Structure 1
């Protein structure tokens, strides 16, 4: 009897160990949600310096931050620290040219982190290069994780303070998901501080739904706003719940080989960090990044479906942009750029946004449109357009120069 009891204890202990390992591993995998309401403490809240009660979050004026992009291995010299600076308008600094009210042409840009030009220095943004080409200041009002909705909201708030002849709206295809979001965590697991307003369509009318968070302190008790978040965030039912891991965790972890690979690569990076040096012959950082990109493919296909099911909301936001341009008398330009995960997918399957740009051209005579994928033709594969390491594939300085050339043509054609 005793051997059987001992065996039972061993099996129970093994199951418990597997459950703990599986749960802890799943918590670190970006494609899996393990909690609906992760805890937010005051220390984390204190680091949320970009909180904005109207927009959810927004770059703050007169700031300078240095960011280690991760372009190095443990024990190596840090080679890629970039500087993000904002001016008194909370626009990213444009070193090439100062503002000049008497300039022949004025330009501003709004959009997401690809507009902000994350992962490159202030003098490596496409706005900097565009300013050099046009010999005029180019304002940069990009915001990390912004969708077309937040970019439009920021435009309406900011434009009266800085009127320009041209406004470039620069976003990625992920905007289709972001305009359906109220709490980023429901689609970007772990992004727990990002609560935002959004627009909904009521008939043909675009109606703004304000953020349920009026003050930063409200983020400490998001669970009390659960009904609102679940109702107005489309992704709660359609993305979060299908990717929510619950007890028992072992099947969720071991049923998908990519989960196991990602966990092994993450463990390798942790070993390198503790040892203070890299393991020869293995680039765990690159392997982890490639694993994450593979896990992103279902999200890309999900976003592709959203362009089929929710193009009416996207089109309504574009119409609002065009109407506001007509009201304020500036030239509106819509620019679609690509995240790395989309570029890799679209190189094989075509653009996930379908004929969006062609439809916009047919619908709005006053709107200029640019599909940047049609202008950027890398010789060494799509990866060569982006920074080599770091947070996930923003455009390199060389690509930003190419983007500036394309945008300059729009302005120069009217002069």
Structure 2
């Protein structure tokens, strides 16, 4: 009898250990949610310097930050630190040309982190290269993780103080998900500080739903706003709940081989960090990045479906951009750029937004549309070569930004000839 009891206790103990290990592993996997309301400590909140009660978050004026992109091993000399600087308008600085109130040509850009040009220095952004091409200052009002909705809100707030002849709206296809979001955690698990306003359509008209967070300290108690967050964030029902891990965690962890691979590569990176040296035989950083891209495939397909079901809201926001351009008398250009996770998927399946750009061009005579994927085609077909080699999320490299600048400069020059 005693051996049987001992055996049962051993099995129970092993099951408990496996459950704990599996839960910890699931916490590291970006495609799995383990908590609806993770605790936010005050130290993390204190670092959230970009909080904005109107937009959710926004770059602040006259700031300079240096960001380690991660392109080095522990103990090695840091080789890839980029500098992000903003001017008095909270625009990223444009080293190629200073602001000139008497300039004959003025240009501004709005959008997400691909507009802001994360992971490259101030003099490696497409705005810097565009300023060189056009010999004029180019404002950069990109915001990390912005959707078309927030970019449009920022345009309406900023433009009266910084009017320009040309406005480029530069976003990625993930905007289709971002415009349906109120709390990013419901679709980008762990992004717990990002609470935002959004637009909804009521009787065919855009109606703004303000952010439920008025003060930064309110982020410490988001559970008290659960009803509002769940009601207005489309992804709560359609993405968060289907990806919310529940017991038994061991089964959830082992459900996909990619979970195990990602956890193993993450453990390898942690070992390298602890020992301060690389382990021979495998590049854990590269392997983890590639595993993360494979884990992202379901999200890309989800976004593809959103273009089929919610394109009407996206179209309404573009129409608002065109109407605002007519009201303020500037030349509007809508630019679709690609995140790395879309580029690798779309190279095999075609653009997830279908014929969106063609339809927008046909619908709005005043709007110029650019599908940057049709301009950025590597000779060898290696789309990953367009992006920085390592770092936070595969943003465009300086060389690619220079190519983008040439495409945008051609738009401005063609308009000048047409006039």
> TM-score, normalised on structure 1?
0.99
Match of 1:139 in 2: 139
Alignment size in residue pairs: 415
Q: State the alpha-carbon separation in 1 of the partners of residues 218 and 167 from structure 2.
A: 34
Match of 1:397 in 2: 398
Cα drift, residue 255 of structure 1: 1.4
User: Counterpart of 2:246 in 1: which secondary structure?
Assistant: coil
Match of 2:184 in 1: 184
Q: State the alpha-carbon separation in 2 of the partners of residues 34 and 57 from structure 1.
A: 25
Q: State the alpha-carbon separation in 1 of the partners of residues 323 and 179 from structure 2.
A: 19
Q: State the alpha-carbon separation in 2 of the partners of residues 37 and 75 from structure 1.
A: 35
Which residues in structure 2 correspond to 1:205-244 (within 5 Å)? 205-244=205-244
Which residues in structure 2 correspond to 1:329-340 (within 5 Å)? 329-340=329-340
Q: State the alpha-carbon separation in 1 of the partners of residues 101 and 368 from structure 2.
A: 24
Match of 2:121 in 1: 121
Q: State the alpha-carbon separation in 2 of the partners of residues 256 and 347 from structure 1.
A: 24
Match of 1:384 in 2: 385
Match of 1:158 in 2: 158
Q: State the alpha-carbon separation in 1 of the partners of residues 237 and 361 from structure 2.
A: 34
Cα drift, residue 104 of structure 1: 1.5
Match of 1:363 in 2: 363
Match of 1:8 in 2: 8
Q: State the alpha-carbon separation in 1 of the partners of residues 44 and 347 from structure 2.
A: 39
Cα drift, residue 77 of structure 1: 1.7
Q: State the alpha-carbon separation in 1 of the partners of residues 384 and 74 from structure 2.
A: 24
User: Counterpart of 2:273 in 1: which secondary structure?
Assistant: helix
Q: State the alpha-carbon separation in 2 of the partners of residues 221 and 293 from structure 1.
A: 32
Match of 2:409 in 1: 408
> TM-score, normalised on structure 2?
0.99
Cα drift, residue 281 of structure 1: 2.0
Match of 2:296 in 1: 296
Q: 1:75·1:278 contact (CA, 8 Å) conserved in 2?
A: no
Q: State the alpha-carbon separation in 1 of the partners of residues 138 and 383 from structure 2.
A: 27
The answer for unaligned runs of 5 or more in structure 1 is: none
Cα drift, residue 134 of structure 1: 0.2
Deviations 1:161-215 (A, max 9, x none): 0000000000000000000000000000000000000000012100000000000
Match of 1:273 in 2: 273
Deviations 1:28-47 (A, max 9, x none): 11000000000011111101
Q: State the alpha-carbon separation in 1 of the partners of residues 214 and 7 from structure 2.
A: 57
Cα drift, residue 19 of structure 1: 0.1
User: Counterpart of 2:159 in 1: which secondary structure?
Assistant: helix
User: Counterpart of 1:161 in 2: which secondary structure?
Assistant: coil
Deviations 1:9-42 (A, max 9, x none): 1100000000000000000110000000000111
Deviations 1:343-364 (A, max 9, x none): 0000000000000000001100
Match of 2:373 in 1: 373
Deviations 1:310-350 (A, max 9, x none): 01000000000000000000000000000000000000000
Q: State the alpha-carbon separation in 2 of the partners of residues 315 and 58 from structure 1.
A: 24
Cα drift, residue 396 of structure 1: 0.0
Q: Provide runs of 4+ in structure 1 moved above 3 Å.
A: none
